[in-house]
Amino acid sequence: MKTVYVDNNATTRVAPQVLEAMLPFFSENYGNPSSMHSFGGDVAKKIKVARTSVADLIGAAPEEIVFTSCGTESDSTAIRAAIHSNPEKRHIITTRVEHPAVKNLCEHLAKNGYRLTVVPVDCDGRLDTDALVKNLSDDTAVVSVMWANNESGVIFPIEEISQAVKERNIVFHTDAVQAVGKIPINVNRTGVDMLSLSGHKVHAPKGIGVLYVRKGTKFSPFLIGGHQESGRRGGTENVPAIIGLGKASELAAEHIDEENTRVKGLRDKLETEILKRIPHVIVNGDRDHRLPNTTSIGFEYIEGEAILLMMDALGICASSGSACTSGSLEPSHVLRAMGVPFTSAHGSIRFSLSIYNTEEEIDYIIEKMPPIIARLRQMSPFWQDFIKKQPAAVE
Amino acid sequence: MWEYTDKVKDHFLNPRNVGEIENPDGVGEIGSLACGDALKLYFKLDENKRISEAKFQTFGCASAIASSSALTEMVIGLTLEEAAKITNEDIATYLGGLPKEKMHCSVMGRDALEQAISDYRGQKTEIKEGRIICECFGVTDLEIERAVRENNLKTIEDVTAYVKAGGGCGNCHDNIQEIIDAVQGKALPKKPQPARLTNIQKIKLIEETLEREIRPALKKDGGDIELIDVNGNHVLVKLRGTCAACKASQVTLKHYVESKLRELVTPEIVVEEV
């Protein structure tokens, strides 16, 4: 059975060129970049090249790049660094739709004496920037707002928010894990102080992340140890992964046009055809301002895990905002924050594409989805009640 | 990904007895859209009063569908007395086991079966007795007590896995722990009885609770609520904003607004939308 992978916001395949670039650093080039000998020194030089490639992808300077282990570490380091560097300030602002890496840390800090403002989004997943700006105060230590949402794909107006935040001299962090490599990002055009990105979302391996720290930003390391990363993150570097991320960054810069044309075209085709072929389907989130690879589609009156497992039986890999897939009992906090009704929140499926998806794969999904949805609806008491009430309106 | 047994996968991908029975002898309906799963179970009896046909409609995950399918297979051929003895553990065992987090699917099957039998016997169903403990999922103290007793549950996590209580905001965890302690033999501390309220005191307390507790929560979702009138224990309200158009507004009204007012004003409160 073939595998059609459309869950690229969860993780991506390692690009062949990335794997190829990494391999020597497991075997022949295994030196420690901190060593004094040239065997290690050569590795340090390669890390420098990788650092420059990552910096170029987001418009930063190489010395502003701190390699971490993942996006979560980057987020945690950024927020903790901001509050530790401003100990007199006790207020944090974030949004209702952040990734758990930010959401759960902020909630943890709120239980430990910080005042937390969680800014809402509207029904299209757009941030209430007025509410955010109104809540900025002299006591605000950090504002952390994601660049693009992992579930809906909705892109937030980071430049506009950054301007308001920086006017008040408050540290501004953005979790750009989903945005990097999919839309053009330039940290110098935004004024953002810190930015998180993750390797495995851009066709590099898992276990490597980056925290961009603007030069001059007050910083205190989360991982204290050796002098690696200019003392901003102790611990021997994950050399192969760093090299891989460097290569992946070069490829991402090359592929950004393809993401916004061909990949977007495939996403739009998938979405349009599903909406055309299946009744009572809604797209979650603002369709004009979202990532080119993402669509979150709510199938009314059925449940997401059941849809996913039927898709899985046909080799289609996607993800769901349903409660049952997460092990929690409530549907995705992102969809609930958007006010997506229960009728479709439980039955929402996220399709997230990459440059490796083909038209043939999208056609396969388009062909397979209608019978899956019809079969589950045939079992659903809510769908049956619904069609009894409107017998002439739907199939 | 959940680790489902082959039998769960089989009953999910090839569910038996899907559909509706016209003129059934008994119907049981449990769950809601808000809760994330629901089951409607139908049966028909033959001339020997044995279940000759059983069908189901399920909104839910793979294990909910598999549990429903299994249940219909299990009850066909049984008398109602025999069927009534089926426990949620029996359903899970029939399927070769369910992940602990999915045990509530088997409980849903058992509850639907009980309702269907009660329906046949002409007993009143629908209204759950007891006090709502978990507002997020509308689970009562009696349901939690039963799950703890029948399945020898020891922790809040267990209770959540079996009846969902405590799986939402977590505000009810202390109450669930008290019930576990009481059933498991530890004494439940007696709560002081509230003093009887005059009409004016009651109306004032309703207004205060709406303002302080309920409206801010609804506003977070873009909704609102307006108090129209109070007639005895009947509180008449109108939902506004996103709540007014929400398909789950009755769930909000009963599982949140009513239970909050029952908790903070008086247990006899009935909320109605006008």
How many Cβ atoms from other residues are within 10 Å of residue B249's Cβ? 17
Residues whose CB is less than 8 angstroms from the CB of residue A356 and which lie 6 or more positions away in sequence, other chains included: A5, A13
- The pLDDT tens digits for A331-379 are 789 998 998 888 888 899 999 999 999 999 999 999 999 999 999 999 9
- The pLDDT tens digits for A280-311 are 999 999 999 999 999 999 999 999 999 999 99
Distances (CA, A) of B256 to B36, B84, B261: 16, 32, 9
What amino acid is encoded at A55 in this protein? A
**Residue A232 corresponds to which tokens in the numbers above?**
């901003």
Q: What pTM did the predictor assign? A: 0.81
Mutation site, B55, B59, B224, interface A, largest A CB count within 10 A: B59
Which among B18, B59, B137 has the least Cβ separation from residue A301? B59
ipTM exceeds 0.90, yes or no: no
Burial letters A171-209, b for 16+ CB under 10 A, else e: bbbbbbbbbbbbbbbebeebbbbbbbbbbbbbbbbeebb
What amino acid is encoded at A349 in this protein? I
**Residue A368 corresponds to which tokens in the numbers above?**
């397979």
Q: What distance in Å separates the CA atoms of residue B206 and residue B208, rounded to the nearest whole number? A: 5
Q: What distance in Å separates the CA atoms of residue B28 and residue B15, rounded to the nearest whole number? A: 19
Record: contact A381-B29, CB cut-off 8 A: yes
Record: contact B168-A313, CB cut-off 8 A: no
- Supply the pLDDT for residue B194: 55
- The pLDDT tens digits for A86-115 are 999 999 999 999 999 999 999 999 999 999
Pick B224 or B197 by higher pLDDT: B224
For residue B36, the chain A residue with the least C-alpha distance is A346
- The pLDDT tens digits for B46-82 are 999 999 999 999 999 999 999 999 999 999 999 999 9
Record: contact A343-B12, CB cut-off 8 A: no
- The pLDDT tens digits for B102-135 are 898 999 999 999 999 999 998 655 555 688 888 7
- B138 with B153: CB under 8 angstroms? no
Q: What distance in Å separates the CA atoms of residue A187 and residue A179, rounded to the nearest whole number? A: 12
Mutation site, B33, B134, B249, interface A, largest A CB count within 10 A: B33
- Residue A120: its chain B contacts at CB < 8 A? 220, 222
Res. A242 pLDDT band, cuts 50 70 90: very high
Q: What distance in Å separates the CA atoms of residue A360 and residue A345, rounded to the nearest whole number? A: 29
Q: What average pLDDT does this structure show over A120-129?
A: 96
For residue B61, the chain A residue with the least C-alpha distance is A306
- Supply the pLDDT for residue B153: 87
For residue B247, the chain A residue with the least C-alpha distance is A341
Q: Which of A213-227, B8-22, B62-76, B121-135 has the lowest mean pLDDT?
A: B121-135
- The pLDDT tens digits for A27-72 are 999 999 999 999 999 999 999 999 999 999 999 999 999 999 999 9
DSSP string, A203-268: TS-SS-EEEEE-TT-----SS-SSSGGGGTS-S---HHHHHHHHHHHHHHHHHHHHIIIIIHHHHH
How many A/B residue pairs have CB atoms within 8 Å? 95
Query: Residue B259 gets which letter from DSSP?
Result: H
- The pLDDT tens digits for A304-340 are 999 999 999 999 999 987 655 555 556 789 998 998 8
Pick B250 or A283 by higher pLDDT: A283
- Supply the pLDDT for residue B171: 82
Pick B153 or A78 by higher pLDDT: A78
- A372 with A310: CB under 8 angstroms? yes
Whole-angstrom distance between the N-terminal and C-terminal Cα of chain B? 45
- A335 with A22: CB under 8 angstroms? no
- Supply the pLDDT for residue B125: 53
Record: contact B222-A339, CB cut-off 8 A: yes
Res. A251 pLDDT band, cuts 50 70 90: very high
- Supply the pLDDT for residue B190: 54
Distances (CA, A) of A256 to A202, A253, A261, A354: 11, 6, 9, 11
Angle at CA of residue B269, ends B266 and B262, nearest 5°? 50
DSSP string, A63-132: GGEEEESSHHHHHHHHHHHHHHHSTT--EEEEETT--HHHHHHHHHHHHTT-EEEEE-B-TTS-B-HHHH
- Supply the pLDDT for residue B200: 83
Looking at B167-230, list the stretches that DSSP marks H as alpha helix, in order from N- to C-terminal side.
Answer: 173-183, 199-209, 215-220
- Supply the pLDDT for residue B269: 86
Q: Is B256 on the interface with A (CB under 8 A)?
A: no
Residues whose CB is less than 8 angstroms from the CB of residue B76 and which lie 6 or more positions away in sequence, other chains included: B17, B51, B52, B53, B54
Whether residue A395 has pLDDT greater than 60: no
